[in-house]
């Protein structure tokens, strides 16, 4: 089988891959507090099409967004690759500045981190072999009597374990091993990052895989709902968060997020359409978009850096 674009490095000495990017004038940009001065350290699991390192350069749909923002803030970027389950703690403990990679917003994550506005919105899909009798959609009831898997640490795990009648719920260290089990027939269904699976299918047509939309089910809101794809940051670093979040607004205004998605084969326009209801209201956002909750604070205006 072909190798999925991924690299595993545990965070620590020698783990970060530094990418130097052109900086704005230091006179025009405030000095932000970062783990390494002048560098934005990015916790990620190194999976395309969202983010990985190739020839010393960060690439991917989410990587393009965070690098563009870092450039405006006068920061270089460094990739700290690790298993996805370690990324929240790396940022929370101050070993990385931000976590990136089709990260879905959840109430639990909002209690642990400051979370940016969405950079796009990813739907819920199920990966399976092409010979499965589903084409336009699959329901949670259809999964009864079958095995299902995902990555350890994904926010959908608790709800997935509650699905009635599954023969097995398997958790993997990474998406690579999960998809390989689907291709080999050792697992029947998997719920993973939609963009990642699209990319794997594109690169490995001989694996005979497809991805089918998972129908919304109010009994499983995290598993079956469209997610806010976001970036997570340390709750004590308000200034850096406010500046990065101003950058998120800028990438929407300039359509850089859509351009980046298309660059890596994520062409469905639905990724840029927000779900009808915003689950963040009253948890980490108020009705006007202000930051509330565990990381609530008066937001500083850094929009001038993105003029």
pLDDT digits (tens, 9 = 90+) for 174-211: 888 999 999 999 999 999 988 888 888 888 999 999 99
**pLDDT confidence band for 1 (50 / 70 / 90):** very low
18 or 82, higher pLDDT: 82
b/e for 186-211, b at 16 or more Cβ within 10 A?
A: ebbbbbbbbbbbbbbbeebeebebbb
If you compute the radius of gyration of the chain from its CA atoms, what whole number of angstroms results?
Answer: 19
**pLDDT confidence band for 276 (50 / 70 / 90):** confident
Residue-wise pLDDT for 36-48, tens only, equals: 999 999 999 998 9
Is the model's pLDDT at 13 over the cut of 90?
Answer: no
Is the model's pLDDT at 123 over the cut of 50?
Answer: yes
**Separation CA 124–CA 276 (nearest Å):** 15
**pLDDT confidence band for 153 (50 / 70 / 90):** confident
**pLDDT above 90 covers what percent of the chain?**
73
DSSP-H helix ranges across the chain:
61-72, 87-92, 107-112, 157-161, 175-184, 194-203, 221-224, 238-253, 256-263
Domains annotated on the chain, with CATH = 16-121+227-306 (3.40.190.10), 124-224 (3.40.190.10)
Is the model's pLDDT at 287 over the cut of 70?
Answer: yes
- Cβ partners under 8 Å of residue 251, min gap 6: 65, 68, 69, 119, 257
Q: Average of pLDDT values for 56-69?
A: 96
Is the model's pLDDT at 27 over the cut of 60?
Answer: no
36 or 267, higher pLDDT: 36
Q: Cα torsion at 143, 153, 231, 82 (round to 10°)?
A: -130
> Whole-prediction pTM value?
0.78
Coil, strand or helix at 163: coil
Determine the pLDDT at residue 18: 64
Lowest average pLDDT, out of 35-39, 129-133, 142-146, 194-198, goes to: 194-198
Distances (CA, A) of 72 to 83, 129, 235, 248: 29, 43, 22, 11
């Amino acid at each position: 089988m072909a190798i999925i674009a991924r690299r595993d490095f545990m965070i620590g000495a020698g783990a970060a891959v530094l990418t130097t990017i052109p900086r704005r004038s230091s006179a025009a940009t405030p000095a932000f507090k970062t783990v390494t001065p002048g560098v934005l350290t990015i916790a990620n699991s190194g999976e395309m099409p969202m983010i990985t390192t190739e020839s010393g350069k960060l690439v991917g749909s989410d990587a393009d967004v965070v690098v563009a923002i870092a450039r405006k803030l006068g920061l270089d970027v460094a990739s700290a690759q690790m298993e996805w389950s370690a990324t929240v703690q790396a940022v929370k403990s101050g070993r990385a500045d931000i976590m990136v990679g089709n990260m879905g917003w959840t109430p639990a994550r909002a209690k642990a981190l400051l979370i940016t506005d969405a950079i796009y919105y990813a739907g819920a899909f199920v990966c399976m072999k092409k010979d499965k009798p589903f084409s336009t959609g699959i329901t949670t009831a259809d999964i009864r009597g079958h095995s299902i898997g995902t990555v350890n640490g994904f926010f959908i795990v608790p709800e997935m374990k509650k699905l009635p009648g599954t023969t097995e719920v398997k958790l993997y260290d990474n998406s690579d091993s999960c998809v390989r089990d689907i291709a080999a027939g050792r697992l029947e269904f998997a719920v993973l990052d939609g963009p990642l699976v699209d990319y794997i299918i594109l690169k490995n047509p001989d694996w005979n895989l497809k991805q089918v939309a998972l129908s919304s089910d109010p009994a499983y809101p995290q598993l079956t709902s469209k997610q806010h794809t976001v970036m997570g940051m340390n709750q004590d670093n308000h200034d850096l968060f406010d500046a990065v979040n101003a950058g998120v607004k800028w990438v929407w205004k300039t359509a850089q997020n859509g351009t980046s998605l298309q660059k890596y084969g994520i062409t469905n326009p639905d990724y840029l359409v927000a779900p009808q209801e915003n689950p963040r209201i009253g948890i980490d956002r108020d009705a006007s978009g202000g930051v509330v909750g565990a990381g609530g604070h008066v937001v500083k205006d850094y929009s001038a850096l993105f003029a």
